[in-house]
Structure 1
Amino acid sequence: MATKGLIQREKKRQKLERKYHLIRRSLKKQICEVPSLSDKWKIHGKLQSSPRNSAPTRLRRRCFSTGRPRANYRDFGLSRHILPEMVHACLFPGATRSSW
């Protein structure tokens, strides 16, 4: 189980990403449209001045129940450890356990 501090840090990053999403997108669009290189550098400086944790690449997908950062299924939002347990407990209708 992930520590609570790591989970809170990830929530803070998500909040910052939502806050700066439109600003970052508009600045990137302006960089593509401006023909002169000096103007591109000025816009790039504005983009660099935004908080580092506001970048979407800094986000990490975590398991909803345990907070595990690795081996997550996007469809369910659960890690590989929790998913079979929940399927076995019949919490996902239509999902079956594989057995050979």
Structure 2
Amino acid sequence: MAKRNMIEREKKRAALVAKLGKKREALKATIADPNADFDAKQVAVTALQKMPRDSSYTRKRNRCAITGRTRGVYKKFGLARHKLREAAMKGEVPGLKKASW
């Protein structure tokens, strides 16, 4: 199981992304706009730099919903590989069954 502070940190990042994501995208669009004047771009760059780093979507990390593990997490299920396998064996994941040939 992951440390509780790491899990809480990820929750905080997810909340910041949800809160500031649209504002961040608007600033990036202003910066990338070829028709925008230089001063507007500079203001947008400064505003983007003053935003918290954790509000960036790329700072988020996928974690298992049960254990908090970061590696081997399936996005579709939100579970790490070994917890997904355990849940599938118990029949807790609808539509998923173990392959056999």
TM-based fold match above 0.5: yes
Q: Does 1:57 align with 2:58?
A: yes
The code of the aligned residue for 2:74 comes to Y
Q: Partners in 1 of 2:4 and 2:45 — Cα distance?
A: 35
- Structure 1: unaligned runs, 5 residues or longer: none
Q: Please report the RMSD computed on the Cα atoms of aligned residues, expressed in angstroms.
A: 1.5
| 1:32 CA displacement | 2.6
Secondary structure of 1:63's aligned partner: coil
TM-score, normalization by structure 1: 0.90
Identity of counterpart residues, as a percentage? Answer: 41
Any residues of structure 2 matched to 1:23-38 within 5 Å, and which?
Answer: 23-33=23-33, 34-38=35-39
The code of the aligned residue for 1:9 comes to R
Q: Partners in 2 of 1:8 and 1:73 — Cα distance?
A: 20
Runs of at least 4 residues off by over 4 Å = none
Aligned length: 100
Q: Does 1:2 align with 2:2?
A: yes
TM-score, normalization by structure 2: 0.89
Contact 2:63 2:70 in 1 (8 A): yes
